[in-house]
Amino acid sequence: MPDVLFKITCVTCNARLSVRNAAVIGQILSCPKCGSMVEVAPPAEADAGDCAKAEGAGLPEYGDDKDASHGAEASPASAHVVGDFETNALGINGESNSSVESATGANQEIDDAMPQAVDLAARYRVIAWASTGLLALVAGVGLMLYTISGNGSDQSDEAETALLSAPLDVKEPTPATAPKATTPPTPPVETNTLPAVAETITPPETSEPAVEDSSPESEPAETNLPTEPLPPEESTKTVVTDATAPAPPKRTLRIDPLDLDPEGFDLSTLQSDSASELSVSPAETSKPPEQPLQIPAATAERPTVSRDPAQQLSALDAPAVLAKELQAFVVNAMPLCEFLDFTTRMTAVPVSVTPAELRLAAVSATRSVSVSVKDASIDSLLSAALKPLRLTPVIENNQILLQRGGLEDVRTIEYPVADLLDSHTDAAKLATMVRQLVAPETWTDASPEGPFVRALADQLQVLHQEKRQYEVLRLLETLRLARGLEPRSKYPVALLVARSPHMQLNDRLSAPATFTFSHYTPTCEVFRFWQNELGLALLIDWPALATVDIEPRTRITCSSNDKPWHEALDDSLTPLGLSWRAVDGRTLQITSIEVASQSPQLEFYSLKSTVKLHANQVEDHLDRLTKDTTLVFSPEVYIDKGSNTLVVRHSSAAQRKLAQWLTEQGFTRPTSE
């Protein structure tokens, strides 16, 4: 092993390096310990023998020379960046590396004597190399993203080829002492001899979008490729010198970038594992073609409504709840529908009233309720609040029902009908109409004790229970309203409905509804939200809901996305065994499907003057609408020719379908008239 000529110090790790080959003087080599670039510069005034002595004695022979680091500075032409694999060939071997002396050890005096500023040019070169590598890395990443976007397939390939085909800025070593430099790889040839810097700036091959020109990866192994780099404009073309070699297949896109959602991209999507995901190689031609990636248009919708399967409700004691006392309770001008909802949520006991009881009490669901009590029970609170409305709280089946009491007595009343008589209608026809449309199953005209209705000269004599008398009165007053006549009683005209409420609410229920109850929510809270959003009074038929095991505390989830309100209500209620029906132009009721399909209600349809319908036509259509339903009542149809009004007694489910059919046929007058 040649003698040590002299020692140098690495400015990065302060390692002492022994120089054994004079041929490396003036070159820039890689430090065996930290890999930093170190310029080999001998002392200015020491010869090789002195340096050897200095090493043997362990004392610096050139430590006082301030110009030692610049005494033998090599010219730029002779500088060369050498990797770790060149260490043994250039004289800095593993033996000297293993015996590197620490700057903090015995050679501390030598380190202190070394110049503080080693050649600035060497540092500048290192900084320049690092900056060049960083810029190349940024450019490579930008090129990769640009090529993946599909907007510059051909241009990105040319840019990448130009980047790889450009020779690396590596300075050649002197022929006498340095090994032969590695030839820069050409773009079409994939090798593993690229320096580490080139590997960091080269974008992954698998992330390039497929283009019509074949890629180097699909070339057969026997193909003779050019050893010199191609010009940028020709670098994307494949050079094949073997005429017998098959032409590479054309690469085609399997994924259309325009069909993908950019928000769904991540690094794993952008960087695929191999180029075979974008193209089919010749070896795969015998395999069945893979199915293209299917992008679903939309995910399947979750169920519109569901019940909480884990909920277990405890039984409530309604009498005990009503007996509880409150220190004070004050309500001022609260609508009746909101008052019922409030007391239901306060007591957890269902509180409800039916539309029939409201008609008997001659009040609407929006009637204001005011009450102020102190040290009173809940029963006293309800009685005081509902007394002005002629309603009384009654406990039935552990629920609180509001009823209009005192109407079970039988009375005889004569109703004047002279204003309703004309060439088309006489008293006998009016009596027949009353028997058809008001509780038709209860009349027994053959018995003098009634119930009966008799036609007099200009009156109708009716013997029946008082609550049925209210129904007769409402029928006659509504007929006057349809004909545009003045009322003959004190019954509030605002509570009379001369047009089908389903048609009156058509515009409101056709508006879009969007709501989501993603967490299980009590039904009373859901109904309250619907009431506020609709701007309508919402009556809840809690006795009917109890038949399908639903009470105010039952928790459900439901949702609607921009559907009409009538459709959103159907989707949310039908799976629960519930339905809804229109009471008047300001009120809806939520009830069970059975009640909605089996309880008759009376509705009026104002027909256009040009429309001439016969009762049998409407009856035939109603039979078709309800052919799958076994009715427990007798449906009735009556046409008042004096006002060209169709009067139908049928279930609310059939009334909804009839109103839709009449509207589609253009038979009814607009509600604005």
Q: pLDDT exceeding 90 applies to what percent of the chain?
A: 46
Q: CA separation (Å) from 496 to 368, 387, 500?
A: 19, 23, 11
- Mean pLDDT, the chain, as a whole number? 75
Cα radius of gyration (the chain): 49
Class of domain 498-673: alpha beta
* 549 pLDDT above the threshold of 50: yes
Is the pLDDT at 584 greater than 90, yes or no? Answer: yes
- Find out if CATH 3.10.450 is the number for domain 410-495: no
For residue 45, the model assigns a pLDDT of: 52
The pLDDT-based confidence of 227 (bands split at 50, 70, 90) is very low
pTM assigned to the model: 0.57
With vertex at residue 654, the alpha carbon angle to CA 648 and CA 657, rounded to the nearest 5 degrees, is: 105
- Report residue 459 as tokens: 């009156």
139 — pLDDT class (breaks 50, 70, 90):
confident
The total number of residues written for the chain in this structure: 673
Residue 205 has pLDDT above 60, yes or no: no
Q: Hey, is 347 helix, strand or coil?
A: helix
Those residues whose C-beta lies under 8 Å from the C-beta of residue 478, and which sit 6 or more positions away, are 496, 497, 498, 604
Q: Which of 638, 636, 643, 637 is nearest to 611 (CA)?
A: 643
SS (H, E, C) 540-568: ECHHHHHCCCCCCCCEEEEEEEEEEHHHH
Q: For 70-83, how does the pLDDT look when each residue is reduced to its tens digit (9 = 90+)?
A: 333 333 333 333 33
**Residue 216: partners with Cβ closer than 8 Å, 6 or more residues away:** 187, 188, 189, 190, 238
Say yes or no to pLDDT of 118 above 50.
no
Q: How confident is the model at residue 164 (pLDDT cuts 50, 70, 90)?
A: very low
Which of 237-246, 415-424, 469-478, 544-553 is predicted least confidently? 237-246
pLDDT at 124: 72
- Residue 28, pLDDT above cutoff 60: yes
Query: CA 145, CA 203: separation in Å to the nearest integer?
Result: 9
The rounded distance, in Å, linking the Cα atoms of 15 and 202 is 34
Q: Are 336 and 556 in contact (CB under 8 A)?
A: no
| Token pair 């515009």 in the structure block, residue | 507
- Tokens, residue 492: 């509030």
pLDDT at 567 over 90: yes
May I ask the CATH class of domain 318-403? alpha beta
Helix, strand, coil abundance in the chain, percent, nearest 5: 40, 20, 45
Which pLDDT does position 294 carry in this prediction?
A: 54
Tally of CA atoms within 13 A in the half-sphere of 441 that contains its CB: 6
The answer to whether residues 161 and 190 touch, using CB atoms and an 8 Å cutoff, is no
How far is residue 262 from each of residues 153, 253, 266, 297, measured CA to CA in Å? 18, 17, 9, 15
Q: Which helix H or strand E contains 416, and what residues bound it? A: strand 410-416
Which pair of structure tokens corresponds to residue 535? 């701007």
Please report where in the chains the tokens 């991209």 appear, as a residue.
Answer: 265
Among 228, 214, 246, 197, CA closest to 205: 214
Res 482: pLDDT: 94
Reduced to 3 states (helix: H, G, I; strand: E, B; else coil), residue 479 is: helix
Which amino acid is present at 122? A
Structure tokens at 123: 């540092």
User: What percent of the chain lies above the pLDDT cut of 70?
Assistant: 64
Contact between residue 648 and residue 655 where contact means Cβ atoms under 8 Å apart: yes
pLDDT digits (tens, 9 = 90+) for 409-457: 999 999 999 999 998 899 999 999 999 999 999 998 777 788 999 999 8
| pLDDT value of residue 650 | 95
**Higher pLDDT pick, 560 / 269:** 560
Comparing 119-123, 227-231, 261-265, 310-314, the range with the smallest average pLDDT is 227-231
Q: How far apart (Å, rounded) are the C-alpha atoms in residues 673 and 184? A: 90
CB 434 within 8 Å of CB 454 = no
pLDDT digits (tens, 9 = 90+) for 300-331: 455 679 999 999 988 889 999 999 999 999 99
For the chain, the distance separating the N- and C-terminal CA atoms, rounded to the nearest angstrom, is 117
Instruction: Provide the β-strand partners of residue 415.
Output: 460
Which is more confidently placed, 32 or 343?
343
All structural domains of the chain with their residue ranges: 6-118, 126-277, 318-403, 410-495, 498-673
